[in-house]
Every structure is written in structure tokens, then in C-alpha cells.
């Protein structure tokens, strides 16, 4: 790997590269899997993976049938978090509807709700919630609580003002959200999805590639030629680096076009990061294939690497939410570092000065993996 | 290329002298199976050597050992005076493996071009050699055909062409005529003789005894070892046993009688008759034992198959 590449090695590298391209381009299914499938998946996942909770199907039980209960229900359902799916006559009926899955929340206004409020005795509004999805339940319950606490505060102020006194000063935090002011999920998730698809596609193709040569017997013929193992491996990886860069460019394009993902930073920097990332994922594939006797084993090896890598990357669950002993493992995970580069460059407009650590770590992991694969890959059949 | 050859000459002082191939006590086990069990033989420069033996004798493992493709548990494999896995040997050896080993999804021309590039042949050299190889293998009309669309014989010839592109000094062929029609088989052997005539050293393995007779020297392999070695005429001349055809009699009873007789080294059906190998001097007694069954013995000229079957039987007894 070090030192100038001999002219003969260049010819050999080019031969492997050209052969790999011929085989890949000729295989339509592989081309589909490499280029089209990631695009389709990004679009589908981009729309499907959405942490925003809205349109929670909600039932209203208005036993009071007063002006205030009607007004409360109307305003609570107006902000989009809750979506009215009908009315029920009693709390029991609403509870049964929740059991049946016809709604996820129910607001129950007791009789005399208006009278209780006006009398100053205090009003209770019952909220029934389906707790199957903890995130959704928390958000729904939060929305209802916020609505009524603001309402209560307003009523208190009105009463104080009506009595001629000055109400206490208001305390109100005003959050200003940078980079993703709408708090949309897509700009955060789509770069992560791209990183995930890239690791899956490239790890599998490189793991299967060498295993196929072994299984088909072509490795035997190649091994008796004067090519050095490292040149064989690098030549086999190179076409997929090119394809990977094309795919990333396409994915960013689709993300910008469909999901309004900003490109605030330098795309060239992103491509350099992608190059380092591909070194790690293709290298991991090669390493897997050096310990696999055939394509089936390589396929299983691919799963054994990619699934834990995706789960422990911080894409699915925040790294800080993982148990302490598991967290250091994510430092070795190329997906984690690449997702940080992608989000940094695209969403924050971060430059190399902000992301140098991520680049260095990816480079170190990549070189280590490719070196390990080269050492493991002996010029031997058995 | 000239300079490279000069450099090699310095690296291998004994180049030109000594055997082209040398196997010394090669041993290799694969789990419970002993593939090579102290195999030793040498192939001189410019020799056509046949490694003959039944399936599972260890021929493929022996050839892979000489190609430097497998780890050995013991012994030493040397090629042109260098260790078999020495990188410097690569450009001087050609291998044609037994199973499919070319890219099926590449065409005849693309496969040739690929191997010429991996061997770093200059374009003009490649063009000249490919043209000649395509001509002698008669593959020229199929240049654009995918390798997996070739017949068995055509594929073998393409594999041979790919192994010959870099004009190796030593050619290793593992069962090159396996699955090849008789015409292509004869053509392949004619090519091998032509190469040897041009000074190439050829080691060929085959399970077919009739092919052994086409070699300058043969080694009979069984269970990972060499049982017998020599030039085919000398081997047959030194054959100690006699060969007969058993005519007449009821097949089952005749076979039972033969199986009972230790002097019968081998028996194999030859059409309607049985061909047997009998220890020298034991035929008269056998003829007497067979007479009541209505069978007679007719002497035939012993051939390679008789020799090898008898020798393997003797070894295993």
C-alpha cells in the first residue's frame, strides 16, 4: 500500500477494475440493487420514518353540552395534534372504543363542567389514553396538559384583572431552534437513512464479490497470476467506491428535492467523507469474505455486521440512551461518524475545522479494516 | 521482458539446471482425509509427465501444492528451483484447474484480455499470442461468446489458452480432458505434445489410463502417494503379471470363483467378457478351476489399465 505503485501493478489494478465493472454493469439485478433500490428506499423511508406525533385519533365525550365544554374541545382539536374521530355518550363507551382501537385518546367533559369552572370550585377533564406507543402517549398527554394549564393561567389572570389588581409578571421561555426550525424529522433522518443504505449495499456487494470468485473457482486462476493480494482487493473495491459516490450524490439530490433538506456546507467535503466511509464499509465486506468459504456464509456475515452496526449507530436510538458499557462500542462504528459528517455538512454547514475528528476516525477505521482484510486474505485456497 | 528474465536468472542461480518440478515428501490432511501422504516425484525440464490415479488419489491437491495454492503439513514443493509459493515463480508457471475457473459472464475475448492484463503483457505481444492461441484452439469464431455458453471442450481450450498467454515454462493441467469429447481430447493432447516439443515442461493429471500412455513418463498415484513411476513402455515391459480374457461360463459363478482366487489381481468387464490380471504362473491353476464352469482363459497383451489396477489392488491388499 505504501510507496509508489509499480507500473505493472497499475495495469493489474486497472484489469481488475475493468473486469469488475464489466461484470457489474452486465448484471442488471446488481445494478438495480446498487443504484435504484437505495433511491426508492430513501424516498419510502423518508416519508415513513417520522417522529412527529400529530393527528392522534381522539373521541370527545361531552356530558355537559355547555358552551365552555364545546369551546374547549374545539380549540384543543384545532392545533392538529389531536384529530376528532367522533363523539361518545359516556366514558365507558369511550374506553371501549380505545380497547377496540378506534381511537387513541378520549376527552371526557363531566356534567356540570361549566358550572364547576364558573363557580371557581375547579374543573376536571378526564383524558383516556392508549399507552401502547409511549412516545405518542407522552406527546398527546403533553398537548392536553399544556392546553389546560394555559387556559387555567388565562382564567386566573382575567379574574385578578377583574378584581382591579395587577396580575403577576409572566414567565415565558422563548426557544429559538437553529438549523431545523420546523423540527421536521426528514432533514434529520434522511442523511441517516442514506448512511444506513450505503453501508448495507456496499458491505454486501464487497463481501459477496470475493466469495463469488472463491465459489466459482475463478480465484484459483487469479491467484496463480503475478497479481499481489492487496492489488486484487483494491481493484475489486474501486468500482464500488465510484458507484457509492454516485449513489450519495443522487440521494442528496433526492433529499433536497423531496424532503427540502438543505445543503448548507460543502458538497466536496461530503464526498471526501463518503470516500472514507466507503473505505470502511467495503473493507468490512472484504474482511467478511476472507473468513467466508462461499456466498451464503458471506451473506450471513454481512447481516451479522450491518444490523448491529445500524442499531448501534445512533440512527435508531440516541447513543446517550444506550447503557454505559455499550456506548464506547459506537466509537468504532463508521456509521455513527459518517452520519455526523452528513448531518453536519448538510444541516449545519459545518466545515472541515468542525468535523476533522470524524474524518480522522473514519480514515483510521478504514485503513485498519482494509489492512486486516489484506492480512487475512492469503494467497491460498486451503 | 528481457530485463525481467535477466533479473530472474540472478535470483535463481540453478535456473537451467535441476528439475522443473520437485515434490519432496508432500503431506496434507483435510480433517480426517489424508490427501497427500509423503508424495515425492520430480519432473525434468521439457518433460511431459502424467500423474495418473483414481478419483480421490490426491492428484488435484498435488497440483495445487505445486502451484503454491495450499498450505502443506510437511514436505517441500519447488518449481524451477524456487519455492512453489514464491512470487517470482508466478510469471513462469501456468495452471489449468480442473473445475471452471474463468469468468462465466465475460466473453472469450474478455477473458483472454483480462488475463493478459493481469500478466502485464504489452498490447502487441497479447495481440500476437491471442491470435495464435485462438487459431490453434479454433476459438476465433467464438470471440464474443460468453464463457458459460461454450461447450465443455471449447471451454477447456479457452482455459488452456488463458493459462498459456504468458508463455509459461511450466504448465500444470488438472484433468484437462475431463468432460471433453473424444475429438477435442485428441486435439488437446496434440497441443500438449506440441508445447513439449517447444521446450515446455508439462505436468498433467488424468484418471484415464489410455491417456497415461501418451506421456513421456507417468507416476501412478493412490491414497496420496506414488506407487509406480516410469516411461510407459518400460513400465509395461516390467509388468510381472499376466492379462487374460475370460470367455464363456455363467457370469455370476465365474466372478465368484475369481473373487475366491488370491492370484487374481483385478477383474473388470470388457464387453461380454471379463478382463483379468493374474499373478505370473498362476494361470494354469485358474484355468483348471474355471473349466467346470464352462469358462476358458485367452491371453491378451497387458496394457496400462491392467498394470495400474493390479498395482493398486496389490497395494491395498
Q: Are residues A225 and A342 both part of a single domain? A: yes
Range of the domain at A223: 13-50+184-376
Q: Are B206 and B305 in contact (CB under 8 A)?
A: no
Q: CA separation (Å) from A111 to A93, A107, B308?
A: 16, 13, 107
Q: Do both A216 and A142 map to the same domain?
A: no
Closest chain A residue by Cα to residue B89: A226
CA distances A122 to A60, A69, A76, B127, Å, are 20, 14, 19, 98
pLDDT above 60 (res A3) = no
Cα gap A195→A338, rounded to integer Å: 7
For residues A194 and A248, the answer to whether their CB atoms sit within 8 Å is: yes
B4 touches chain A (CB under 8 A): no
Q: What is the CATH number of the domain that holds B63?
A: 3.40.50.300
pLDDT band at A4 (very low <50, low <70, confident <90, very high): low
List the single best residue of B29, B97, B118 to mutate versus A (max A Cβ within 10 A): B118
CB-nearest partner of A379 from B30, B85, B102 = B85
**For residue range B110-150, what is the model confidence (pLDDT) as tens digits?**
999 999 999 999 999 999 999 989 988 889 999 999 999 99
Angle at B128 between CA B125 and CA B133, to 5 degrees: 115
Beta bridge partners of A61: A108
Q: Which residues of chain A lie closer than 8 angstroms to B114, CB-CB? A: 15, 18-19
Q: Given this model, what pLDDT does residue B2 score?
A: 38
Q: Has residue A45 got a pLDDT over 80?
A: yes
ipTM field: 0.84
Report the distance separating Cα B287 and Cα B297, nearest Å.
Answer: 6
Q: Is the CB of residue A232 less than 8 Å from the CB of residue A16? A: yes
Contact assignment for B69 to A23 by CB distance below 8 Å: no
Tell me if B295 sits within 8 A of B246, measured CB to CB.
yes
3-state helix, strand, coil in chain A (%, to 5): 65, 5, 25
Interface of A with B (CB under 8 A): 8, 11-12, 14-16, 18-19, 22-23, 26-27, 216-218, 220-228, 379-382
Each residue's pLDDT tens digit, B42-69? 999 999 999 998 888 999 999 999 999 9
| A238 and A343, same domain (yes or no) | yes
A136 and A247 co-located in one domain: no
Biggest alpha carbon–alpha carbon distance for chain A: 99
Confidence at residue A8, expressed as pLDDT on a 0 to 100 scale: 87
Total structural domains within chain A: 2
pLDDT tens per residue across span B160-183: 999 999 999 999 999 998 888 888
CA A128 to the chain's CA centroid: 31
> Both B37 and B112 in a single domain?
yes
| Statement to judge: residues A133 and A191 lie in one domain | no
Cell of A78: 384545532
- Do A308 and A324 fall into the same domain? yes
Has residue B309 been placed in a domain?
Answer: no
Residue B90: which of A23, A217, A225 has the nearest Cβ? A225
With a cut of 50, list the residues of chain B below it in pLDDT: 1-15
Query: Which domain does B267 fall in, by range?
Result: 240-301
Q: Given CB atoms, is B103 within the 8 Å cutoff of chain A?
A: yes
What percent of chain B is modeled with pLDDT above 70?
94
Structural domains of chain B, count: 2
Rg, chain B, Cα only = 23
Amino acid at each position: 500500500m505504501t510507496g509508489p505503485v509499480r507500473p505493472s501493478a497499475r495495469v493489474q489494478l486497472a484489469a481488475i477494475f475493468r473486469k469488475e465493472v464489466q461484470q457489474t454493469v452486465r448484471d442488471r439485478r446488481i445494478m438495480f440493487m446498487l443504484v435504484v433500490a437505495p433511491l426508492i428506499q430513501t424516498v419510502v423511508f423518508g416519508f415513513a420514518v417520522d417522529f412527529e406525533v400529530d393527528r392522534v385519533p381522539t373521541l370527545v365525550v361531552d356530558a355537559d353540552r355547555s358552551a365552555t365544554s364545546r369551546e374547549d374541545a374545539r380549540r384543543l382539536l384545532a392545533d392538529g395534534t389531536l384529530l376528532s374521530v367522533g363523539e361518545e355518550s359516556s366514558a365507558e363507551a369511550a374506553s371501549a372504543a380505545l380497547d377496540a382501537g378506534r381511537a387513541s385518546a378520549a376527552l371526557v367533559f363531566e356534567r356540570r363542567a361549566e358550572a364547576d369552572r364558573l363557580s371557581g370550585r375547579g374543573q376536571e377533564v378526564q383524558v383516556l389514553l392508549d399507552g401502547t406507543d409511549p412516545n405518542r402517549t407522552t406527546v398527546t398527554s403533553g398537548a392536553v396538559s399544556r392546553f389546560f394549564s394555559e387556559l387555567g393561567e388565562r382564567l386566573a389572570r382575567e379574574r385578578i384583572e377583574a378584581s382591579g389588581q395587577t396580575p403577576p409578571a409572566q414567565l415565558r421561555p422563548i426557544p429559538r431552534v437553529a438549523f431545523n426550525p420546523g423540527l421536521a424529522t426528514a432533514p434529520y433522518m434522511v442523511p441517516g437513512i442514506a448512511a444506513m443504505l450505503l453501508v448495507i449495499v456496499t458491505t454486501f456487494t464487497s463481501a459477496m464479490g470475493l466469495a463469488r470468485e472463491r465459489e466459482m473457482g475463478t480465484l484459483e486462476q487469479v491467484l496463480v497470476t503475478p497479481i499481489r493480494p492487496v492489488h486484487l482487493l483494491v481493484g475489486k473495491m474501486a468500482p464500488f467506491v465510484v458507484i457509492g459516490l454516485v449513489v450519495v450524490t443522487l440521494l442528496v439530490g433526492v433529499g433536497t428535492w423531496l424532503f427540502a433538506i438543505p445543503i448548507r456546507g460543502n458538497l466536496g467535503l461530503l464526498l471526501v467523507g463518503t470516500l472514507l466511509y466507503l473505505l470502511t464499509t467495503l473493507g468490512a465486506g472484504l474482511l467478511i469474505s476472507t473468513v467466508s468459504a462461499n456466498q451464503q456464509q458471506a451473506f450471513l456475515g454481512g447481516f451479522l455486521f450491518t444490523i448491529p452496526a445500524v442499531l448501534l449507530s445512533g440512527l435508531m436510538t440516541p447513543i446517550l440512551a444506550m447503557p454505559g458499557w455499550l456506548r464506547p462500542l459506537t466509537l468504532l462504528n463508521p456509521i455513527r461518524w459518517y452520519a455526523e459528517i452528513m448531518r453536519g455538512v448538510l444541516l449545519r454547514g459545518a466545515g472541515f475545522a468542525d468535523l476533522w475528528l470524524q474524518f480522522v476516525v473514519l480514515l483510521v477505521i478504514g485503513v485498519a479494516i482494509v489492512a486486516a482484510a489484506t492480512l487475512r486474505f492469503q494467497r491460498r485456497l486451503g | 521482458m528481457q530485463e525481467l528474465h535477466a533479473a530472474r536468472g540472478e535470483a535463481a542461480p540453478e535456473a537451467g539446471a535441476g528439475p522443473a518440478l520437485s515434490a519432496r515428501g508432500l503431506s496434507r490432511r483435510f480433517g480426517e482425509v489424508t490427501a497427500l501422504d509423503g508424495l515425492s516425484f520430480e519432473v525434468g525440464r521439457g518433460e511431459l509427465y502424467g500423474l495418473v490415479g483414481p478419483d480421490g488419489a490426491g492428484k488435484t491437491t498435488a497440483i495445487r501444492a505445486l502451484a503454491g495454492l495450499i498450505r502443506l503439513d510437511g514436505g517441500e514443493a519447488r518449481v524451477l528451483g524456487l519455492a512453489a509459493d514464491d512470487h517470482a515463480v508466478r510469471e513462469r508457471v501456468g495452471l489449468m484447474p480442473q473445475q471452471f475457473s474463468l469468468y462465466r459472464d465475460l466473453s472469450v475475448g474478455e477473458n483472454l484480455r483480462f488475463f493478459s492484463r493481469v500478466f502485464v503483457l504489452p498490447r502487441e505481444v497479447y495481440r500476437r499470442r491471442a491470435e495464435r492461441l485462438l487459431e490453434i484452439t479454433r476459438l476465433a469464431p467464438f470471440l464474443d461468446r460468453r464463457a458459460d455458453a461454450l461447450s465443455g471442450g471449447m471451454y477447456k481450450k479457452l482455459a488452456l489458452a488463458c493459462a498459456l498467454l504468458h508463455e509459461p515454462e511450466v504448465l500444470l493441467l488438472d484433468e484437462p480432458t475431463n468432460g471433453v469429447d473424444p475429438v477435442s481430447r485428441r486435439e488437446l493432447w496434440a497441443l500438449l505434445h506440441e508445447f513439449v516439443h517447444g521446450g515446455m515442461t508439462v505436468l498433467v493429471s488424468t484418471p484415464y489410463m489410455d491417456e497415461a500412455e501418451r506421456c513421456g513418463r507417468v507416476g501412478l498415484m493412490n491414497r496420496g502417494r506414488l506407487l509406480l513411476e516410469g516411461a510407459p513402455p518400460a513400465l509395461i515391459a516390467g509388468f510381472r503379471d499376466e492379462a487374460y480374457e475370460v470367455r464363456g461360463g455363467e457370469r455370476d459363478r465365474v466372478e465368484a470363483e475369481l473373487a475366491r482366487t488370491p492370484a487374481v489381481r483385478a477383474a473388470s468387464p470388457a464387453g461380454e467378457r471379463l478382463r483379468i490380471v493374474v499373478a505370473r504362473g498362476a494361470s494354469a491353476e485358474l484355468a483348471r478351476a474355471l473349466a467346470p464352469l464352462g469358462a476358458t482363459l485367452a491371453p491378451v497383451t497387458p496394457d496400462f489399465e491392467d498394470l495400474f489396477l493390479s498395482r493398486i489392488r496389490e497395494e491395498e491388499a
